[in-house]
């Protein structure tokens, strides 16, 4: 393991800073106030050289209750924890609170360091060992190594270095692959360098000269220089403590911000989470409780919105959303801690399920519970599929953020889904689950049948109505034509430029309607260029005007009639003949008048005007004053 961050935790004045100084030779209490008061207020950092020759970083965190937020700022990047306990006092309230916080952050590796052993006798020390083991039972530290040390005499320091070297071999390394994520825990200005920030690189790498992004401000900065353990370097990688200087910025840079690769991480004010309340929490967690949310180095006020119950009792857990007052940068599977707003007590913590829910969820919804549980507990295969189902247009970057996995892992999983036939890829951009596509197709066909029940004389559905229906079903816009194409290729529907028909759809007319239809068709054959108008038909069938219009609508849907305007119609065959006559007329004499067409077709001026205005709209002819020209195509 090349890059490891070891952190201290424990009650105030139990010897954390003295221990770090004894191990490293560096006093991590830097400020005047810290030295005057004899306590750690801010985070301290120092490199430690192990017997193996490996150099690691140590984060010294404050133990005083008032500075718990500073402790939290350092805890997020720790790989191994040194729980420091004074041999004279044993575990104290802040010791227990630190352990609770580390539990919430799901740290798995730690060493119990009993300090100031030179001030107690062997019998007391043995008693203290038993008490510490008893109080750590049920935590991740219950079977951890226990080392007795004295920073004053040096007792146990060499043994501790050996135990640290052995323990870090069990640590899961941070990934240097993927986009940079570096939460900032200190910000200061250095003459000649400008703004300098420090933090633990959680993922990826950062190089001198890189363009990075400060979040949540979304301001891009260029990296001017990098230091690791006080030495100038060209690159810092995951697991290292880094001090990064960058060019001047407009943003008020502060702890809690994140340095990241541009356009990869997106800040959010609404999170889907699983929340756990500590067994010894002084309060239950109530719906709409105002809390302090801690993730990485950020502390933000938010409101807890419980999804199932009105409260989560001590020792219990539940699904919730957190509505934050300011945006934070988190990813799926991030751990967090919550504390009460006032007075401040650590209430519990949890894990982020979805860092970017699109809306506030409806409470007591089983569908919401099921989806959140899939996203929380499913395999990467299941989580990627679920995210694609929710939004087929999610980018690789968004999928990685939603699933809490590396982009490389997500891309490989996505291709597996295609290979297994669970996802269809269109044009390398749309990733549509076959199950969701099938559901959309089924829902659309049901909707089409429902449309026909309400519109009994329709054969075709206008494309505008089709798109409205698909939108209501939740089909993304870019997927809509793909879905229609698939339904057409599978023989379910017929798709034309402006309309859609269910395969085999026919309108059933009554006997009276069939009689009217036959008479209209006969009249169109007898007078192809001047059949009766709608008004004339209604006069002929007085008292059945509605039925006449329904029959005409059915004939239009069956492509037997084309309306030129609200009153005048012709058969499509007659229209083809008319167009041929107009083309012939134009070939013979050039621009022509309404009267020329009237005479050519032996019809009335009323029909000639209606025909030419229809052709104008169809871009078959163009009017220039009192004459028209025929527009040849192709």
Could you give the CA distance from residue 42 to residue 240 in angstroms, rounded to a whole number?
19
Residues of the chain with CATH 2.40.30.10: 181-260, 268-368
CA-CA-CA-CA torsion sign (123, 128, 131, 134): negative
CATH architecture of 5-170: 3-Layer(aba) Sandwich (3.40)
Strand-pair category, 430-433 with 423-426? antiparallel
Q: Which two tokens stand for residue 162?
A: 């050996």
CATH top-level class of 435-502: mainly alpha
CATH code for the domain defined by 509-634: 1.10.10.10
**pLDDT number for residue 34:** 35
**pLDDT number for residue 444:** 95
**pLDDT number for residue 368:** 87
**pLDDT number for residue 44:** 66
Omega cis (within 30) before 593: no
pLDDT tens, 379-416?
A: 888 888 888 887 777 888 888 878 878 888 888 998 89
Find the helix or strand (DSSP H, E) in which 538 lies: helix 534-540
DSSP assignment of 462-514 equals EHHHHHHHHHHTT--HHHHHHHHHHHHHTTSEEE-SSEEEETT------HHHH
**pLDDT number for residue 272:** 95
Helix, coil or strand: residue 41: coil
**pLDDT number for residue 75:** 55
Burial of residue 543 (number of CB atoms within 10 Å: 0-12, 13-18, 19+): exposed
Q: Which two tokens stand for residue 379?
A: 């395999």
**pLDDT number for residue 26:** 81
CATH top-level class of 181-260: mainly beta
- What pTM does this model have? 0.67
Does 1.20.150.20 match the CATH number of domain 268-368? no
- Which of these, 306, 297, 220, 300, lies nearest to 268 by C-alpha position? 300
Residues of the chain with CATH 1.10.10.10: 509-634
Helix, coil or strand: residue 456: coil
pLDDT tens, 17-55?
A: 889 889 988 875 444 433 343 333 345 677 888 888 888
Q: Are 246 and 257 in contact (CB under 8 A)?
A: no
HEC per residue, 192-225? CCEEEEEEECCECEEECCCEEEEECCCEEEEEEE
Residues of the chain with CATH 3.40.50.300: 5-170
Q: Low-confidence residues of the chain, pLDDT below 50?
A: 1, 29-42, 63-67, 74, 634
CB atoms within 10 A of CB 18: 20
């Amino acid at each position: 393991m090349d890059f490891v961050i070891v952190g201290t935790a424990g009650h105030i004045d139990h010897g954390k800073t003295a221990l770090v100084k004894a191990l490293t030779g560096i006093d991590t209490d830097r400020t005047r106030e810290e030295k005057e008061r004899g306590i750690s207020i801010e985070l301290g950092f120092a490199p430690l050289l192990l017997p193996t020759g490996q150099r690691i970083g140590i984060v010294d965190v404050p133990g005083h209750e008032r500075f718990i937020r500073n402790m939290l700022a350092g805890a997020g990047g720790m790989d191994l924890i040194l729980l420091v306990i004074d041999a004279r006092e044993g575990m104290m309230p802040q010791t227990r609170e630190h352990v609770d916080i580390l539990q919430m952050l799901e740290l798995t590796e730690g060493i119990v360091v009993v300090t100031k052993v030179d001030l107690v006798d062997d019998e007391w020390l043995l008693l203290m060992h038993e008490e510490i083991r008893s109080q750590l039972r049920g935590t991740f530290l219950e079977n951890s190594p226990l080392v007795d040390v004295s920073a004053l005499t040096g007792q146990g320091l060499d043994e501790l270095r050996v135990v640290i070297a052995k323990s870090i071999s069990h640590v899961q390394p941070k990934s240097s692959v993927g986009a940079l994520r570096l939460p900032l825990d200190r910000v200061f200005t250095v003459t000649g360098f400008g703004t300098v920030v420090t933090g633990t690189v959680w993922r990826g790498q950062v190089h001198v000269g890189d363009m990075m992004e400060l979040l949540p401000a979304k301001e891009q900065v260029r990296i001017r220089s990098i230091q690791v353990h006080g030495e100038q370097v060209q690159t810092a990688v995951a697991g290292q403590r880094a001090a990064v200087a960058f060019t001047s910025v407009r943003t008020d840079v502060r702890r809690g911000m994140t340095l990241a690769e541009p356009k990869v991480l997106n800040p959010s004010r609404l999170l889907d989470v699983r929340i756990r309340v500590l067994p010894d929490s002084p309060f239950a967690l109530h719906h709409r409780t105002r809390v302090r949310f801690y993730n990485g180095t950020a502390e933000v006020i938010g409101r807890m919105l419980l999804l199932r119950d009105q409260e989560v009792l001590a020792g219990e857990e539940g699904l919730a959303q957190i509505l934050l007052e300011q945006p934070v940068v988190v990813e799926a599977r991030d751990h967090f801690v919550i504390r009460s707003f006032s007075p401040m007590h650590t209430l519990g913590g949890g894990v982020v399920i979805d860092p970017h829910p699109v809306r506030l969820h409806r409470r007591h919804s089983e569908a919401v519970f099921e989806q959140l549980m899939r996203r929380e507990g499913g395999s990467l295969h299941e989580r990627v599929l679920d995210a694609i189902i929710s939004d087929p247009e999610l980018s690789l970057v968004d999928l990685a953020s939603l699933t809490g996995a590396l982009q490389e892992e997500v891309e490989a999983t996505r291709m597996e889904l295609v290979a297994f036939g669970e996802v269809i890829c269109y044009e390398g951009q749309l990733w549509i689950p076959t199950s969701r596509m099938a559901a959309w197709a089924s829902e659309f066909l049901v909707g089409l049948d429902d449309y026909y029940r309400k519109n009994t004389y329709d054969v075709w559905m206008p494309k505008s109505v089709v798109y409205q229906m698909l939108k209501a079903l939740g089909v993304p816009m870019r997927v809509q034509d793909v879905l229609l194409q698939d339904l057409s290729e599978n023989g379910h529907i017929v798709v034309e430029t402006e309309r859609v028909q269910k395969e085999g759809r026919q309108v059933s007319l009554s006997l009276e309607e069939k009689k009217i239809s036959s008479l209209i068709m006969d009249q169109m054959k007898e007078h192809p260029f001047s059949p009766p108008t709608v008004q004339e038909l209604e006069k002929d069938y007085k008292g059945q005007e509605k039925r006449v219009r329904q029959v005409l609508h059915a004939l239009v849907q069956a492509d037997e009639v084309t309306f030129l305007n609200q009153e005048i119609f012709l058969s499509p065959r007659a229209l083809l003949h008319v167009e041929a006559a107009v083309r012939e007329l134009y070939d013979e004499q050039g621009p022509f008048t309404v009267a020329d067409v009237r005479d050519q077709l032996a019809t009335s001026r009323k029909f000639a005007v209606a025909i030419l205005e229809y052709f104008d709209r169809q871009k078959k002819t163009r009017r220039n004053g009192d004459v028209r020209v025929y527009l040849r195509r192709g």
